[in-house]
């Protein structure tokens, strides 16, 4: 059986930030599971950049079924964690099951990939204190408040933590994450 990777997400996650790592990691030979607050069809969104807007816009995106509810997740079964962005991390960071899952990966020094607003989850667990991370640039004050250093980059690597700003960074982000995975959690 292939090594398993967990994606933690929910409604209003950014479509590209879920599907790009999902498909890229399947391509590498990993088994990938999506966990959400409950087993249901999730509604993702599309964040886009439009001339004249001071921030990104949001439109309905793809739907996709969650494989597991958070309470069903045994994080010890997984070799790595992916935290996509979008608005989902704003409410997921308060979920005790998400905190339990996320803390396991940091406590066990397993690879974690986070992008855009995904670091709101790791900030809520205290896992970024003393680390370097990329996030969506508007969250730089949140990173500082959480004791971490904001890095404006597409492939920020801090040990087994790999982060990026937003979906335009996918190539660098996943290239760096796959490199960490091949070293720390290779496909069986």
**CB–CB of 25/5 below 8 Å?**
yes
User: What distance in Å separates the CA atoms of residue 184 and residue 128, rounded to the nearest whole number?
Assistant: 20
The one catalytic residue in 33, 47, 104, 117 is 117
What residues have CB less than 8 Å from 96, skipping those under 6 apart?
none
Q: 81 to each of 46, 48, 106, 114, how far by Cα in Å? A: 22, 25, 10, 8
Place of tokens 């599971």: 33
What is the spatial distance between Cα 36 and Cα 92, in angstroms, rounded to a whole number? Answer: 9
Active site residue 117: yes
Q: Are 92 and 98 in contact (CB under 8 A)?
A: yes
Task: Point out the residues that are catalytic.
Answer: 117
């Amino acid at each position: 059986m292939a090594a398993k990777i967990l994606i933690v997400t929910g409604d209003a996650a950014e479509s590209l930030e879920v599907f790009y790592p999902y498909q890229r990691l399947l391509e590498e030979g990993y088994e990938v599971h999506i966990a959400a607050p409950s087993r249901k069809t999730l509604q993702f969104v599309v964040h886009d950049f439009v001339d004249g807007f001071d921030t990104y816009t949001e439109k309905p995106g793809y739907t996709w079924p969650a494989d597991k509810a958070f309470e069903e997740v045994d994080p010890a079964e997984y070799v790595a964690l992916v935290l996509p962005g979008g608005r989902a991390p704003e409410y997921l960071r308060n979920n005790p099951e998400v905190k339990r899952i996320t803390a396991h990966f940091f406590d066990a020094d397993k690879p974690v990939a986070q992008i855009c607003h995904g670091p709101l989850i790791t900030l809520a667990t205290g896992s970024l204190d003393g680390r370097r991370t990329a996030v969506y640039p508007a969250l730089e004050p949140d990173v500082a408040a959480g004791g971490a250093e904001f890095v404006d980059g597409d492939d920020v690597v801090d040990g087994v933590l790999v982060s990026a700003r937003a979906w335009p960074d996918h190539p660098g982000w996943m290239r760096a994450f796959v490199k960490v995975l091949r070293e720390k959690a290779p496909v069986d």
